[in-house]
Amino acid sequence: MNQAEVSKLVSQLKTKVNPRLRKFRSPKGPEGRLDRLRKTVTALVKHERLELNYPRADEARMYAERLISDAIRYGDCHKTTMEMADYWLVEKQCVHKLFKVLVPRYQNSTSSYTRLLSAPKPYPGTGDLRAVLELKGNPYPSLLPDTHTNRNLIHNVLLDEAKKVYRSKKYAEIASKIDAAEGANGVKEQKPDEGVPEAVEKEVEASDKKDSVDEVK
Amino acid sequence: MLPVLTRNSITNVCKGLRRFSSALPKSDTEVSKLKTEKLKREILEFRHAYPEFLPDPKIEFRNKIREKLERNDMVARRTQVDIPEFYVGSILAVTSSDRHSGGKSNRFVGICIYRGGCGLRAEFILRNVIDHQGIEVLYQMYDPSLQKVEVLRLEKRLDDKLYYLRDALPEYSTFDPNMEAELMPEGAPVPVNPIKVKLKPRPWLERWERQNLQGVQDLELPEKFYIKAAQVATPWEKYDLMKEYMRTIPVEEQTEIFSEVQSKLQSLEIDRKKLKRKRVIVKPTKLA
């Protein structure tokens, strides 16, 4: 039976929180565990993308999220938050980065501040799970495959079909126009104007271009 | 002559217009924003007076439906028995029915040395010295045998738990059972009693020198006790952000919980204030 502590207010984390913390056995005991984690958190703030073993990445992620959420909630004039930043960021230039770069970046964010992706295991290797931990909005190219231009996505398939239908409709319309023109000129037995189909072609192309702009990206 | 408009002056004029056009609706939204922020802060203030409405932060014990049902039951119980705001260090008088003698009740006056538990299992311990014998009674806050809870002196102490009163000189936990309730001005902040307690010499129930107590006078121990205390101290634990997170309930959840029970608790508080006003102030009598 515990009662919740009410002396300090904390924001809800937007990532999954593990039910219990990992021990990371170390000769220095629980202090050594925090030392390892703060090395990782400092590196994350400094480099914005890391590849490391999965358990450490998962654990360090929670601490990084907490640090950033506290920095957003309380700002740099709050003594306890500053002490925390001073402890967790071993390299002191990172403290400036936290309050001046990361806080404005994530101020209005509705999702988590970090991203954890599983990385391939090297072969032959120890078989440890690897992971990539990164801050969102980092300047590096994305690690996730670009699925936006995938033609097989259902909305792109549907758009393509719609385009086909539109085209066939337009062609039918043009054909009927030409027929009508021919019918009118049939008595005079004149050849149809060659300028009309060219203009029609252009029109169809233009409408195609419009569609491709609307295409889901 | 037409005034010459430079690019700067044009942009300034444009900016001015924009500012003017956006000033009216912005101020409105800002005012409403400030209002909601203030309301949120007020709602969050409930956490000090009603900590037992927050669920157990331990993730294994969480069950949202059960917590909600318990909160409903707690509010229902509070409409039957007036449980006023109190803190560790306040002096309380509790009247409860005695299950060993039907139809009779007991009244116990003492200082609250612990307040804990959450939901319907919330509890507190009262301590007093009666006939040179230290007495402690643990009361379940939502126990149906509880008939009346009075706060005789509303104050806080420097520590969250006052277990060290067990090893302190008896004068620090002796309170007159016929004590009158002290009236406080309305809306005043809860005073903190900065009293420093003198402990009896060892042996003690706990190793008080290792607990970083604020409300205790110098312990007068040999140096080796302090050396050992420094060895076993865990000063890094306060930096463990996740442990801290797992001991609390996040703000978003607290706001949700307290905005759910807020209106009922406030109406109960208003009823209590009305009763207080009705009560006739009795001239204080000299205590034994």
Find, in chain A, the residue whose alpha carbon is nearest to that of B55.
Answer: A4
One-letter-per-residue 3-state SS of B46-108: HHHHCHHHCCCCCHHHCCHHHHHHHHHHHHHHHHHCCCCCCCCCCEEEEEEECCCCCCCEEEE
Does residue B274 surpass a pLDDT of 80? yes
Contacts of B190 (CB under 8 A, 6+ apart): B87, B154, B155, B156
Average pLDDT over residues A93-108: 96
Q: How many CB atoms lie within 10 A of CB A94?
A: 20
> What pLDDT shows up at residue B288?
62
Please classify residue A143 by burial: count the beta carbons closer than 10 Å to its beta carbon, then call 0-12 exposed, 13-18 middle and 19+ buried: exposed
Find, in chain A, the residue whose alpha carbon is nearest to that of B115.
Answer: A3
pLDDT tens digit sequence for B228-241: 999 999 999 999 99
Please classify residue B41 by burial: count the beta carbons closer than 10 Å to its beta carbon, then call 0-12 exposed, 13-18 middle and 19+ buried: exposed
Average pLDDT over residues A102-116: 96
Would the CB atoms of A11 and B251 count as touching at under 8 Å? yes
Is residue B134 a contact partner of residue B68, using CB atoms and an 8 Å limit?
no
**What is the distance between the terminal CA atoms of chain B, rounded to a whole angstrom?**
97
Find, in chain A, the residue whose alpha carbon is nearest to that of B253.
Answer: A12
Average pLDDT over residues B75-85: 93
Q: What residues in A contact B243, CB-CB < 8 Å?
A: 21
Counting one residue from chain A and one from chain B, the pairs whose CB atoms sit within 8 A come to 88
Would the CB atoms of B237 and A1 count as touching at under 8 Å? no
Find, in chain B, the residue whose alpha carbon is nearest to that of A34.
Answer: B240
Does residue B95 surpass a pLDDT of 80? yes
A119 to chain B nearest CA, in Å?
25
> What pLDDT shows up at residue B281?
61
Would the CB atoms of B247 and A9 count as touching at under 8 Å? no
Nearest to A66 among B55, B59, B242 (CB): B242
Nearest to B250 among A2, A10, A62 (CB): A10
Is residue B95 a contact partner of residue B145, using CB atoms and an 8 Å limit?
no
Nearest to A31 among B44, B121, B236 (CB): B236
pLDDT tens digit sequence for B118-172: 999 999 999 999 999 999 999 999 999 999 999 999 999 999 999 999 999 999 9
Residue A161 amino acid letter? E
Q: How far is CA B86 from CA A206, B90, B152, B180, in A?
A: 76, 6, 10, 16
Q: What residues in A contact B116, CB-CB < 8 Å?
A: 1-3
> What pLDDT shows up at residue A188?
61
Contacts of B191 (CB under 8 A, 6+ apart): B154, B155, B156
pLDDT range class, residue A187, cuts 50, 70, 90: low
pLDDT tens digit sequence for B56-77: 999 999 999 999 999 999 999 9
Nearest to A2 among B56, B240, B243 (CB): B56
Q: Which residues of B touch A (CB under 8 A)?
A: 44, 47-48, 51-52, 54-60, 115-118, 121-122, 234, 236-237, 239-254
Complex ipTM value: 0.81
- Which residue bears the tokens 């398939």? A157
Determine the angle formed by the axes of helices A195-214 and A154-185, rounding to 10 degrees.
160
Would the CB atoms of A1 and B51 count as touching at under 8 Å? no
**Domains assigned to chain A:** 6-135 (3.90.1030.10), 154-216 (no CATH)
Would the CB atoms of B247 and A5 count as touching at under 8 Å? yes
Would the CB atoms of A1 and B118 count as touching at under 8 Å? yes
Would the CB atoms of B117 and A3 count as touching at under 8 Å? yes
Nearest to A1 among B60, B117, B247 (CB): B117
Give me the sign of the Cα torsion angle B150, B153, B155, B161.
negative
Does residue A53 surpass a pLDDT of 90? yes
Lowest mean pLDDT among A28-32, B5-9, B51-55, B133-137: B5-9
Backbone angles phi and psi of B134, in degrees to 5: -70, 130
Exposure string for B197-230, b = 16+ CB within 10 A, e = fewer: bebeeeeeeeebbeeebebbeeeeeeeeeeeebe
d(CA B67, CA B119): 7
Find, in chain A, the residue whose alpha carbon is nearest to that of B122.
Answer: A3
- Strand-pair category, B91-97 with A114-119: unpaired
Is residue B123 a contact partner of residue B117, using CB atoms and an 8 Å limit?
yes
d(CA A60, CA B79): 47
Structure token pair of residue A16? 């999954």
Which string of DSSP letters, residue by residue, matches A18-84? -SS------TTTHHHHHHHHHHHHHHHHHHSEEEEEHHHHHHHHHHHHHHHHHHHHH-TT-HHHHHH
Would the CB atoms of A34 and B252 count as touching at under 8 Å? no
Torsion of CA B243, B246, A110, A108, to 10 degrees: -50
Lowest mean pLDDT among A13-22, A181-190, B155-164: A181-190
d(CA A89, CA A43): 9
Mutate to test the interface with B, among A5, A21, A61, A62 (most CBs of B within 10 A): A5
The strand pairing partners of B129, in sequence order, are B134
Q: What residues in A contact B117, CB-CB < 8 Å?
A: 1, 3
Does residue B24 surpass a pLDDT of 90? no
Is residue A70 a contact partner of residue A147, using CB atoms and an 8 Å limit?
no
Share of chain B above pLDDT 70, in %: 88
